[in-house]
Every structure is written in C-alpha cells, then in structure tokens.
Structure 1
Amino acid sequence: MSAATLRSPSLAVQRGILGALLLVACWEGLARGLHLPSYILPAVSDILASVWSKRALLGEAASYTLFEAIVGYGLGCLIGIGLAVAITMVPKLRVAILPVATAINSVPVVGYSPLILLWFGIGVASKIVMVAMAVSFTVFLSTLAGLDRVDRRSVDLLRSFGAGRLSILWRLRLPTALPLMLAGMRVSTVRSVIVAIITEMLGAYGGLGWIIYQAVLQIDFVQVWSAIFVASAASLTFFGLIGLIERKILFWK
C-alpha cells in the first residue's frame, strides 16, 4: 500500500474541514455585510450562540430524535435484509415481494404520516415505524443487488462439493453482498434522521422536529436554525459511525 493511499483519508478530511470553514466564513460575511434579518438568513455566530444558550433543551431533543432514528434504522435494516435473503432463498417470492415493496415506496414516506400517526399515535412508536419504512426499502434494494452479484460458477462449484442453500448463503452470497449492503445502510442513516424530524413536525411530544415547529410558530428563526445545526451534527455523527463500522468490516477494501 502506497504512502499516498494511506494519506488520502486524512487529506479528504482536511479538505472537508477547510470547505466547511470557508462556507461558514462566507455565510457569516454575507449575513453581517448585507445586514440580513434573521428570518432570511441569521449569522452563524448568532446561531451558535443560540445553540449554546439552549444546549440543554436541544440536547434533550436531539437524544429524543436519535432514539427514534436509531431504533427505526435498526428495525428497517432487519426488515430490508430479511426480505432480500428470503427472495434469494426462495426465488418465487420475488414476484410477490418486489412489486409490493416498489408500490409502497413509490409514494413518499411522508405521505403515509397521517395514517401512521392515526394508527400509532404521536408518540415515539409512529416515528420508529416511519423511519423503518424509509430505511427498509433502501437496504432491501442494495442487499438484493449484492446477493444477485454472485457468480453462478461459484455457486455451482459449492454445490458440486455438497453445499446447501444456507451454506452458500453464509459462505458466498453474504460476503459478496456486504459492500452494497453496507453502502445502503450507510446512506440510510441520513434518511432515518430526516424522516424522524419531519414526522415530529407533524405531531410529537418532543424532538428536534417538534422544536423546529414550535420555533416557527413563535417566529424564532434563530432557534429554527439552531435545531437544524444540531440535527445536521447528529446526522453526520450517525453517518460517520456507520461508515467507520463499514471500514472495519470491509477491511480488505
């Protein structure tokens, strides 16, 4: 492995930090230089000051939202992977499952919010169900694509040695599908937080979405941006954690 390859992740991080600092500087300069009102674009310094002054409230709301996102994410991953494995083990199920899953996900997840809130209430359960719906389809498609990538000759070779379906799944199909499956799981992290926040805005007892909705009603746009900043930080942390786990599992890549 070359030195350039070893330095590339840290170089990418440095560029990302530099780009973020440049964006913040431009944002601050634009808001201060043009004297923009807070309802159009508040200064970053004002937003950060609001985050610090209301850190207890925002921290509690973030933990509420992250709980919904993580539990729903885990449930959605289990459903998505389980359906993909079921189709692989019993190919006849593909005709029944794939069209239904596609039809359900052809409608934006938010469109189901009124029904989910009616069935499960405005508590945590409805948010978990919504997140699971959003995550499961993405993970299902990525896992199924990975399982279908297996070379038929390799399958035939294992069968010639007496391997059954479960053995082929465990020894060949799942290792082959891991890169695509984990990529789908990584992408779904951001989606899980977004769906949790949007559903909270439609009805909740707490969370960052509820904070944003209440701040809009109170015409406190700095508070809105404060909650958005905290949500972005939480989403990036979740994304980075799953990305780290992915790199640990796919150590050969």
Structure 2
Amino acid sequence: MTASSGPTPAPIDADIRAEMQAERRARMRATLVPVITVIGLILLWQAVVVLLHVPAYIAPAPTQVMATMVSDWANLAANLWPTLIESVAGFVLGNLIAVLLATAFVYSRSVEQAFYPIAVFINTIPILAIAPILVLLFGPGMSGKVVIAALISFFPTLVNMVRGLKSLSPQMLELARICSASPAEVFWKFRLPASMPYLFSALRIAATTSVIGALVGEWVGSDQGLGALIIEATFNYRSGLLYATVILSSGLSVAMFAMVALAEKLFLRWRP
C-alpha cells in the first residue's frame, strides 16, 4: 500500500482566492452603488425639469448647471480659494484648541468644571446668530470667517476627545502604574492611542462643518468666497450659477471628508 502523502494546500489556496474575490466584489459594489444612485438622481432631475417645463430661474436642468460651471469657472475658482483657506484654517484651529482643552479636562477636574459648561453654552448659540458678532469683532477679512469655521468645528471634537481620553480601561491604567509609567508616558502610550478612533470620528464631522462655518461667515459679511457668490447669484436670479456654487461647496466638503478618511486609514492601520 502506498503511504499517504498528506493534505494538499490547494483547497486552502482556493478558499483564500474566493475570499479575495468576494472582498473585491464587495468593494466594487460599495463604489458602484452610490455612483449609480447619483447618476440616477441627476437623470431624474433632468427629466422633471424638461417634462414639467420648470422655469430655469427656479430650477435649471443639470445640463444648464454644467454649462454654467464651464463658462463661469474662472469666477467659481477665484471664489473657491478664499473658502478653502478659511475652511482648512478653521478646521485646524478649532480641532487643535479642542484637543488641547480636552487634555486639560482629563487631567484637571477643576478646569473641566469651570470651562465645560461654557463650551456647552457657546455651542447652543446658533451659528447664524453669533456669526455677525464675530465678523464685527474680527473685521470683514478672512480672520472672522476662520474663527467661525473653528467655532463650529470645535465642540464635536472636544466632546469626542474627552470621551476618548477617558475611555482607557482601569486595567490598562493599573498596568501603567505597575510599570511605573510617568503621566506623560500614560498620555502618549495609553490615553492618546485609545482616543484616536474617537478623534477621527469627530474630525469627519468637523471636516464638513468647517466649510459650513466659512460659508456662513461669507454670507454675513464678505465680497469674496463661495458664500458671497451664493448671495450674489440668488439676488441676481442667476440660478445656474447658484446651483453650480452649491455643488462646488458640497464638493469641497466631500473632499475634506475624504482627506480625513484617508488620514484615518494611514494613522490607524492597527484597526480592523
């Protein structure tokens, strides 16, 4: 009788290939489904405008909006840059202050009791109500819009970062104490890594709200930026330019959200 040569690795390889193909199909489906949905909505929009004879000054067809984006691209691009700078600067400033303040809250109960209610109170004020005050304080330049964008980005990051820094389990803190870790080592090696998922969840929100803050600041008082262009197009009944500006503003928000998502994948490779 011939001795058994043992199991062959072919079935295992087949299972791995099947898993890889299934994962590839899932990624492709996750990409195609939203793309097909967006295309379908655009076609529906075009059909409704054409079939119902909707006036162009109320709702232009997608083809008209695209034509406006091409013909007025120089104007759109010139107003995109101020909004982009204000959004990014406000995003960085607001989140930096939120992270620093959250760290102070975790390590000082007195600081948290003193300033956390103030942060909550400021967050309850509608941004449309506080924006004129900030524009008056900081002037009609970019600084006021940056502060508004920072303010609207600040609170979600503060709340999530405090929760993340406090999410460290008592067992991990006890392990750090047994290892004679200093407070700085506990922060950098234990608390900060544990807070990263919470932080990036907040940054995803802040990436889009910072654009909203910049637009609101431009609505209140500015002669440049996408927000100012929206106001101008509205009062001049240039609906094609209005829709094109709104789409460009949305694209800016999506781009910032995507950048945060990419940074999360790069920095949190250890997460499943």
TM-score by length of 2: 0.89
AA aligned to 1:245 is A
Rounded to whole Å, the distance in 1 between the matches of 2:181 and 2:166 is 18
Structure 2 equivalent of residue 124 of structure 1: 142
- Contact conserved, 2:49 with 2:60, CA < 8 A, in 1? yes
- 1:38 to partner: Cα distance: 2.3
Output one character per residue of 1:70-119: Cα deviation in whole Å (capped at 9) or x when no partner.
Answer: 00100011011111111112233211121111011011222111110111
Structure 1 equivalent of residue 155 of structure 2: 137
Structure 2 equivalent of residue 49 of structure 1: 67
Output one character per residue of 1:35-59: Cα deviation in whole Å (capped at 9) or x when no partner.
Answer: 1012332111100100110001101
Query: Does 2:189 align with 1:184?
Result: no
Structure 2 equivalent of residue 219 of structure 1: 237
- Contact conserved, 1:147 with 1:173, CA < 8 A, in 2? yes
- Contact conserved, 1:123 with 1:205, CA < 8 A, in 2? no
- Contact conserved, 2:230 with 2:242, CA < 8 A, in 1? yes
Structure with larger Rg: 2
- Contact conserved, 1:68 with 1:196, CA < 8 A, in 2? yes
- 1:6 to partner: Cα distance: 5.0
- Contact conserved, 2:131 with 2:216, CA < 8 A, in 1? no
Rounded to whole Å, the distance in 1 between the matches of 2:56 and 2:100 is 47
Rounded to whole Å, the distance in 1 between the matches of 2:223 and 2:136 is 15
- Contact conserved, 1:50 with 1:223, CA < 8 A, in 2? yes
CA RMSD across the alignment: 1.4
Q: Would you say how many aligned residue pairs link Structure 1 and Structure 2? A: 253
- 1:13 to partner: Cα distance: 1.7
Candidates 210, 219, 224, aligned match of 1:206: 224
My pick for the range that moved more, 23-32 or 85-94, is 85-94
Query: Does 2:174 align with 1:174?
Result: no
Rounded to whole Å, the distance in 1 between the matches of 2:184 and 2:29 is 42
Structure 1 equivalent of residue 83 of structure 2: 65
AA aligned to 2:153 is V
Output one character per residue of 1:160-216: Cα deviation in whole Å (capped at 9) or x when no partner.
Answer: 211121111100111011001011001111111111112101111300001111111
Gaps of 5+ in 1: none
SS at match of 1:92: helix
Rounded to whole Å, the distance in 2 between the matches of 1:84 and 1:5 is 38
- Contact conserved, 1:89 with 1:165, CA < 8 A, in 2? no
Structure 1 equivalent of residue 94 of structure 2: 76
Runs of 4+ in 1 over 3 A off after TM superposition: 4-10
Gaps of 5+ in 2: 1-15
Query: Does 2:146 align with 1:146?
Result: no
Percent identity, please. 28
TM-score by length of 1: 0.96
- Contact conserved, 1:190 with 1:239, CA < 8 A, in 2? yes
Query: Does 2:8 align with 1:14?
Result: no
- Contact conserved, 1:110 with 1:195, CA < 8 A, in 2? no
